[in-house]
Each structure stands twice: as C-alpha cells, then as structure tokens.
Amino acid sequence: MSLNIDRNGKKRVVIVGGGFGGLKLANKLRHSGMQIILIDKNDYHQFQPLIYQVASAGMEPSSISFPFRRIFKNNHNVYFRMAEVRCIFPDKKIIQTSIGKVDYDYLVFAAGATTNYYGNKHIAEEAMPMKNVAEAMGLQNAILANLERSITCATDKERQELLNFVIVGGGATGVEIAGVLSEMKKSIIPHDYPEMDDSLINIYLIEASSKLLSAMSPAASQKAEEFLRRMGVNILLNKKVMDYKDHKVILQDGSEIATRTFIWVSGIAGVSITNMDPSMIGHGGRIKVDQFNRVPGMENVFSIGDQCIMSGDEAFPKGHPQLAQVAIQQGKLLAKNICRLEKGKELKPFHYKNLGSMATVGRNKAVADFKKIRIQGFVAWLLWLFVHLRSILGVRNKVVVLLNWVWNYFNYNQSLRMIFYPKKAKVEKEREAREAVTHWGDDLLKEEKKEESKESPTTAKA
C-alpha cells in the first residue's frame, strides 16, 4: 500500500492526529503554499468534551463528529489519509504507517492521548474506557444491554451486578458521566422500564485522591460533590481500585463492589510511537518538547497537545493541562513558527493563556473556574453550553447540536436508546489482519536491523 501523494515540489508538513491541535494546525497552514498531509486512524474529528453524551445515548455520534474530507474539501494543498503511524526514522525523515511510508520536511505528532491504566493489564482488559466516540458507543451498548438483561435475569445477585454502575476517576469526565447516569435513573428508566425497581440502581464514583475535579478550585470541587450527592451518586474518595474479578471491583482497603458496568476514566497517557527513544518520553508517556514544541534531537519534528509535555514553563512544572485549549493554542502558534522557519526568522516560544476550565454535573448544573471568578449552578451550565457550541465546527452541526440539547432539556423521550452491534465486513477483517502481521515486517525496520548488524558483528553473532 502507499499514500499515493506526489511531492509536487512543495515543502511537506505531515500532521499525525486530527484532534483539536492537529486540526487547528492544518487549518492555519492550508494557505501557506506547503503540502499538508493529515494522518488519523479515524476519518473524522471528534469533539471530545461531549463524548459522554454519546455514551449515555443523549446525543447522536454524528452531532459531535466531523469528516476530515468535508472540512478540507476546498483546500487542494491539504491531503487526508486514514492510517496509523507505526514508527519514525528521523535520520531519513520518514515515518512508517499502516498503509505505507511517507517522507516529510516537517513532522508534527498531535495524536492526543489514550486511557491510562497505570500498568494494570487486567483492568485494561476488563474495564470500559470512554476516550473516543467508538468507545462511547460501546459503553452505550453495554449500559443499555445490561438494563435489558436485568429485566430477564434469573437471580437477584446477577440483577444487582447489572444495575450497579461503577465509574473510576473523579475528573471532569467521571463527574459528567456520573451526573448523566443519575439523570437516566431519575428521568429515563421509569419511562422506558416501568417494570424495573429503580431503587436497585446504584451509581458509584470512585476517586483515589481526597477530592473531585482536582485540577479545579476547591469551591468547584466541593460544589460538584454536593450536586452529585444530591443526585444520588455514591462518591468514594481516597479509595484506590486495585483489580476487577468475578464481576467485582476490588479496592485497596479490601472492600468490593459488584458490577457488570465497570467504567475507567481515571487518567490519560500520551499515544506512544514505536521505536522512539525512551529518553524522549516524559511523565504520562508524553513526548518531551522544548518551548517551541520541538522534539529535542530530531530535526523539524514537533509535538503538540496531549501527546507532548513541555519543559521550561515555571507555571506548569509537570506540563500543561491536557485540555483542548492548550492543543489549540499550540497548534496556532506552531503554524506561525513553521512559516517563520521557512523564512529564516526566529521562533516564538509558547505561553499558555489559561481561559478557565469547566465541567457539567447534569442537565442544568455545572461548575466553572476563570481567572478571577468562580461560578456554579445554572448560570455556569448556560456558560458551558455557550462555550461548547461556539467551539464546535460546522454551522450545520452547531444548529443540530443546539436543537438536540433544547429538545433533550424539555423531553427525555427520544429515540436514541437503541443497541447496535456493528459487524465488520470480511474484506475489512482481512485488511486489518494483514496490517497486524506486517507491523514489524516493514522494510525500513529490516534495513535498520541490517545496518545495526553490520556495525556490531559481535552482537549479531551472540
């Protein structure tokens, strides 16, 4: 396979990842006169702040997903390829992808982050993550299927396992999914499942630290906890999850919670790039970059957003928060800096402008922290609504999302709560199998090994 993109004499910028940062960078460079190649494993941009709405069947995936080809349909200098990056060969200025090799003049890693299980492989196998639209749809199916099974199961023990929902991680995502599940219990389940005893439904939110929303102010954390407790959510603070066995979440203190809906949103780690030098990887699996988002030791290689960790900013010694605004601001500045590089000008360092943070805690409750003010309740929710609508791409989709929200606010009886199990076509399964087999059979990797053997014959013999 091949990317089939001619060089055409222009400088080539390869962007790996079409999240907030990668998309902003591609948009800013589309009129630069350079050839832009955007590579992503999906053919759409996903608006991650609203993924929890998909998981709870409150919003259609199409309302928060935007096809890349539609976004760039009138930009002839921007090319999209659906692929996964396997590894990088910086000395050759080439990356290997699942569909072939691609050379670059400038390379930007903006692939974002994935769920962090902190080395617990068993939890990674058992828990349900919620980091992207596909995972949210899988979680939606699991929630609805468990509710259906609880009606027909044979034992009270199994029924309780099906009706206990356990969420691990008290950050914004955990708070949001706990709030929306609580609203499902109150407003949806009595209508859709009149024969169910909704008093059996329990929602647990487990956080290893002493407070929810640790990245926000104490006032926001306290108010979010207060809202959720009023909504009937069981909040367990200072509790660490150790394992999940026999449909039970096992805590460090030895206590257990029976559940078949085990949701893990406890942390994120930067998407890894095979064969990258371990010394270039920092805290949370993030690629180390300097104040210009350059990867040290690699010529014209950059990283932005959740995938990178920047040194030198005294205000953020552990790296900038993994938020959309950081990625957007870095993408915007990097576009200018790449153009400045082309003109031989001095680069400008990145300084994060904190625009505040917010989290929703239900249908009309939210918490918001800004530089000088703290807002909670309905006003914060309206502000959250405005900010997210303003951020969403595509005029048509803004209208669709707004109408969906207005409709959902006044009417819970919508038709989104259906269970779909997509079946992959045979040709797709065969293609994935071939790509998996050739993961470590790439020509470039073979060449690298041959060169290493020539340089070190003793090692090769051993």
Catalytic-labelled residue, pool 161, 176, 207, 225: 176
Laid out side by side, the sheet with 12-16 consists of 78-82, 35-40, 12-16, 106-109, 301-303
Find where tokens 């091949």 sit: 2
Question: What is the DSSP secondary structure assignment for residue 188, as one 8-state letter?
Answer: I
Q: Give residue for tokens 């040194």.
A: 311
Q: What is the DSSP letter of 345?
A: P
Active site residue 176: yes
Strand pairing report for 106-109 and 301-303: parallel
Cα separation of 67 and 46, whole Å?
9
User: What are the structure tokens assigned to 336, written together?
Assistant: 């200018």
Calpha distance 443→143 (Å, rounded)? 44
Q: How many C-beta atoms lie closer than 10 Å to residue 425's C-beta?
A: 8
d(CA 134, CA 54): 9
- CA 444, 103, 331, 392: dihedral to nearest 10 degrees? -90
Instruction: Spell out the alpha helix ranges (H) of 284-425.
Output: 324-342, 378-391, 395-410
Question: CA 462, CA 460: separation in Å to the nearest integer?
Answer: 6
Element (H, E) at 364: none
Residue whose structure tokens are 């014209």:
300
Rounded to 5 degrees, what are φ and ψ at 204? -115, 130
CB atoms within 10 A of CB 114: 18
For residues 287 and 192, is the Cβ–Cβ distance under 8 A?
no
Q: For the chain, how long is the longest CA-to-CA vector?
A: 74
User: Which strands make up the sheet holding 202-207, listed edge to edge?
Assistant: 234-237, 202-207, 164-168, 261-264
Instruction: Please state, in angstroms and rounded to a whole number, the distance separating the CA atoms of residues 308 and 288.
Output: 6
CA distance 433 to 119: 26
285 CB-side CA count, 13 A: 18
Q: Which residues are catalytic?
A: 176
